[in-house]
């Protein structure tokens, strides 16, 4: 067989998978990336078993925008901008960048954040909180417990639901956290069951999140599956949460 023909055929055979891999890497690096929710710290907004799409271009790009975090460390982001208060963000845990978390942005640089008797204070003002009935919170074994639900209105007007069962827990009275430049303060919507910026890194928490550690903004719910309750084979299909498919976060 003619060697140039063999070479061209081999090149064409390799070109398609290489281009496909290149497009996948580009898409997950520059455009969007799917993420999966394994815990209940963001209930009721996000449930265990949710799959969502994060927009990677929303805050610009850092080394954590690249696959496996390859890239130089930098305090600035390419085309970078800070999140808005109330955004649900995906980020690398500052004390262990191998771990990816998702929380809501509560404080921006210069803000002073505090919890007083279970109520959120931002810049000395108590955040508005309105009762919103009873919700159901999922435990690690799949069991559902009833819990009080509230609508919280952040400065700027963003409204979102939170779960709150008690007002005297270990994270319900805190010192004032002054958010430094280039950082955010993030909290879970399931306020009694979220290890977040209220907990210092030395105590196993998150602390302030550097802008460099932002990966994406959570924008679209792709779907949801209640795997914790999918025990017997005949129950598997019934655990698909159709009501949570394809809606904005």
Q: What is the CATH number of the domain that holds 233?
A: 2.10.109.10
- pLDDT at res. 23: 37
pLDDT at 14 over 50: no
Out of 56, 92, 103, 164, which one is annotated catalytic?
A: 103
Please say whether the beta carbons of 177 and 197 come within 8 A. Answer: yes
Look at residue 77 and tell me whether its pLDDT is greater than 60: yes
Annotated catalytic residue 39: no
CA distance 201 to 15: 46
**Is 202 domain-assigned?**
yes
Chain-wide mean pLDDT for the chain?
Answer: 87
212 vs 217: CA distance, rounded Å: 14
Q: Predicted confidence band at 5 (pLDDT cuts at 50, 70, 90)?
A: low
Cα–Cα distance, 122 to 106 (Å, whole number): 8
**240: β partners:** 225
Residue 12 lies in a domain: no
Q: pLDDT tier at 199 (50, 70, 90 boundaries)? A: very high
> Do residues 37 and 48 touch, judged by C-beta distance below 8 A?
yes
Domain, as residue range, for 165: 34-248
Q: 38: which 2 tokens?
A: 């394994």
Extract the tokens encoding 214: 């932002």
> Does the residue 24 lie in any domain?
no
Q: What is the mean pLDDT of residues 196-215?
A: 97
66 contact partners, CB below 8 Å, separation of at least 6: 29
pLDDT of residue 168: 95
Is residue 103 part of the annotated active site? The answer reads yes
- In this prediction, residue 105 carries a pLDDT of 98
- At residue 12, the pLDDT reads 53
Residue 11 domain-assigned (yes or no): no
The total domain count for the chain is 1
- pLDDT for 71 equals 59
Average pLDDT over residues 20-44: 68
- Summarised one tens digit per residue, pLDDT across range 219-230 is 999 999 998 888
192 assigned to some structural domain: yes
Output the pTM of the full model. 0.86
43 strand-pairing partners: none
Q: Is the model's pLDDT at 9 over the cut of 80?
A: no
Q: Is residue 2 part of a domain?
A: no
Alpha-carbon distance values, 47 to 50, 137, 222, 235 (Å) = 6, 9, 12, 19
Q: Tell me what pLDDT residue 160 has.
A: 98
| Pairwise CA distance, residues 9 & 244, whole Å | 46
What are the tens digits of pLDDT across the range 129-154?
A: 999 999 999 877 778 899 999 999 99
Evaluate whether 197 touches 205 at the Cβ level (below 8 Å).
Answer: yes
E strand or H helix at 13: helix 3-26
Least reliable range by pLDDT among 16-20, 38-42, 114-118, 143-147: 16-20
Would you state the pLDDT for residue 21?
39
CA nearest neighbour of 209 among 174, 188, 182: 182
Q: Is 190 a domain residue?
A: yes
What mean pLDDT do residues 205-228 have? Answer: 94
Higher pLDDT, 25 or 237: 237
More confident residue, 170 or 74: 170
Q: Please state, in angstroms and rounded to a whole number, the distance separating the CA atoms of residues 80 and 235.
A: 45
In this model, does residue 212 exceed pLDDT 80?
A: yes
Q: 23 lies in a domain?
A: no
- pLDDT in the model for residue 220: 95
């Amino acid at each position: 067989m003619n060697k140039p023909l063999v070479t061209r055929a081999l090149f064409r055979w390799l070109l398609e998978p290489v281009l496909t891999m290149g497009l996948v890497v580009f898409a997950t690096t520059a455009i969007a990336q799917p993420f999966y929710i394994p815990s209940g710290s963001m209930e009721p907004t996000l449930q265990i078993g949710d799959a969502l799409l994060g927009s990677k271009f929303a805050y610009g790009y850092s080394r954590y925008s690249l696959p496996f975090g390859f890239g130089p460390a930098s305090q600035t982001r390419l085309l970078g901008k800070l999140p808005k208060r109330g955004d649900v963000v995906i980020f690398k845990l500052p004390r262990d960048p191998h771990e990816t978390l998702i929380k809501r942005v509560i404080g921006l640089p210069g803000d002073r954040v505090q919890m007083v008797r279970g109520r959120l204070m931002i810049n000395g003002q108590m955040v508005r909180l309105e009762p919103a009935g009873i919700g159901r919170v999922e435990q690690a074994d799949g069991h559902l417990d009833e819990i009080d639900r509230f609508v919280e209105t952040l400065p700027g007007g963003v409204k979102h639901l939170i779960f709150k069962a008690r007002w005297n827990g270990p994270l319900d009275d805190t010192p004032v956290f002054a958010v430094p430049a280039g950082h955010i303060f993030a909290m879970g919507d399931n306020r009694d069951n979220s290890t977040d910026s209220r907990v210092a890194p030395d105590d196993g928490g998150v602390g302030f999140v550097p802008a460099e550690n932002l990966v994406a903004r959570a924008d679209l719910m792709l779907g949801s599956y209640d795997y914790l309750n999918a025990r017997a084979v005949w129950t598997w299909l019934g655990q698909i949460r159709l009501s949570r498919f394809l809606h904005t976060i």
